[in-house]
Chains A and B, each alone.
Chain A
Amino acid sequence: NAGVTQTPKFRVLKTGQSMTLLCAQDMNHEYMYWYRQDPGMGLRLIHYSVGEGTTAKGEVPDGYNVSRLKKQNFLLGLESAAPSQTSVYFCASRTLGKQFFGPGTRLTVL
């Protein structure tokens, strides 16, 4: 049981490049989330999903897209990366009120 995993762990992009972050969970959770964490701030919700095939916007959705084609996977896409998207990205899944977090992805946009 790996819990919540994220791929990749680190990535450096140039402005304008695109990329996809992958989150996978093997706990059969319905709910999944993407957060970003910036220095001096708590985690902020980007997008979330309440089940396969559904997604919804969180607090800071601009510049990101998500997809939940399979229950166990939640993808976060950056179509045209900007320096303001330099951050640490966390994925989480939830059951019974408890959220389980992945180890995070450190993304730097130059």
Chain B
Amino acid sequence: AQTVTQSQPEMSVQEAETVTLSCTYDTSESDYYLFWYKQPPSRQMILVIRQEAYKQQNATENRFSVNFQKAAKSFSLKISDSQLGDAAMYFCAYRRGSTDKLIFGTGTRLQVFP
């Protein structure tokens, strides 16, 4: 069975600094997708970034980028120039390509200090 592990329950960063959130996953599949979702206090789940396993290039969305290490089954999220609005729970998620089910990690709470 596929699993997603986020080993950092909480992280903190100073405004304008860079922070990296870790995620590892376990799968025997070759076709899959990885995601980072942000959940602010409003509870709304917001897609931050997505990575296709077949793509070697790391995905980037403005200040958000990933370090996708397929052999190590690692998928970390880097937030550059952190802003107060980045404070939220961040969830790593996995989806097998041929099915539709998202499997979530337990989340990392990110605090941003001014």
Query: Which listed residue, A43, A88, A92, touches B91 by the CB 8 Å rule?
Result: A43
A residues in contact with B102, CB < 8 Å: 33, 43, 45, 99
CB-CB contacts of B5-39 with A at 8 A, as 1s and 0s? 00000000000000000000000000001000000
| Contact across chains for B47 and A103 when beta carbons are under 8 A apart | no
User: Does A74 touch B at the CB level, under 8 Å?
Assistant: no
Beta-carbon contact of A42 and B104 below 8 Å = yes
Tell which of B42, B44, B93 touches A42, judged by Cβ atoms closer than 8 Å. B93
Identify B33's interface contact among A33, A44, A97, CB under 8 A.
A97
Interface residue count on the A side (C-beta < 8 Å): 22
Return B25 CB to nearest CB of chain A, in Å.
12
Cα A50 to Cα B4 in complex, Å, equals 24
Give the interface centre of B4, B95, B100 by most chain A CB atoms within 10 Å.
B100
Interface of B is mostly: strand
* Size category, B interface: 20 to 34
Nearest CB in chain B: distance from A39 CB, A: 10
Residue B84, interface by CB 8 Å:
no
* Contact A90-B106, Cβ < 8 Å, known A43-B91, A48-B100, A58-B101: no
Contacting residues, chain B, for A59 (C-beta < 8 A): 101
How many angstroms between the C-alpha atoms of A44 and B93 in the bound complex?
11
Contact with A along B32-66 (1 / 0, CB 8 A): 01000000001111110010000000000000000
